[in-house]
Structure 1
Amino acid sequence: MKVKRIVANINTKDIAAAKTFYQDVLGLDLMMDHGWIRTYGSNEEMSVQISIASQGGSETPSPELSIEVDNADAALEGMKRAGFPIEYGPVDEPWGVRRFYVRDPFGKLINILAHKQG
């Protein structure tokens, strides 16, 4: 047996509210829409990971999702333009990532990060 996929499920009455955050700003594709559930994703190959944490690092709260992007600063500007509240950062962390925390439309704390080059 092997794990093929891990899917984060966020419960909400307003699934349409996800579009701006996950599709418009982060650029994910709408992969499935059954009316009661919408799945956003990418056809790019991604690592399957699950993290168990007592904090978010740098003594921050543990985020509910971490989303790695290729450019954290571009993601930050997109979030700001769309009006999503930034709660931490941007900051270059000592473990080699540039990141910030933002609240999605459902109040979930999201860690947006990019690995620093070099």
Structure 2
Amino acid sequence: MTVQRIVANLHSDDPAALAAFYRDLLGLDLLMDHGFIATLGTGESAPVQLSVASQGGSGTELPQISVAVDALEPVLAKARALGAEIPYGPVSEPWGVRRFYLRDPTGTLINIVCHN
């Protein structure tokens, strides 16, 4: 058996609105929309990862999802323009990443991270 992918499922009473937030924030494409569920993606292949942690690092709350990007500042600017709460960062961490946390419109804590 080989794991092909791991999918994050975020609860929302309005999946279309939350999907629009992530499309605007991260430039994701709408891959599927059945009304009760909207799936976003890029069509790119990525490694399968699942992190298990006691905290988010640097004494922070554990975010539900981490999104790795190639450039942090453009996503930070979009997050601010969308009115997202930024409860942590941006900060360069001692383990070699630069990151910030945001809360999406449903309150889910998201770690946006760029590896140096």
TM normalised by structure 1 equals: 0.94
Structure 2 residue 76 is the aligned partner of structure 1 residue 92: no
Q: Contact 1:21 / 1:79 at 8 angstroms: preserved in 2?
A: no
Corresponding residue of 2:83: 83
C-alpha distance in structure 2 between counterparts of 1:17 and 1:99, whole Å: 25
Aligned pair count? 116
Partner SS for 1:80 = helix
The answer on 1:68 being equivalent to 2:64 is no
Percent of residue pairs bearing the same amino acid type: 56
- Superposition pairs of residues 4-19 of structure 1, within 5 angstroms: 4-19=4-19
Instruction: Give the corresponding residue for 1:48.
Output: 48
Long gaps (5+) in structure 2: none
Note the residue ranges of structure 1 that are not aligned, 5 or more in a row.
none
Q: Output the CA distance in 1 between the equivalents of 2:2 and 2:19.
A: 31
What is the Cα deviation at residue 21 of structure 1?
2.4
Matched position secondary structure for 1:102 = strand
CA-based RMSD of the aligned residues comes to: 0.9
Q: Distance in 1 between matches of 2:97 and 2:91?
A: 8
> Segments of 4+ in structure 1 off by > 3 A?
none
TM-score (norm 2): 0.96
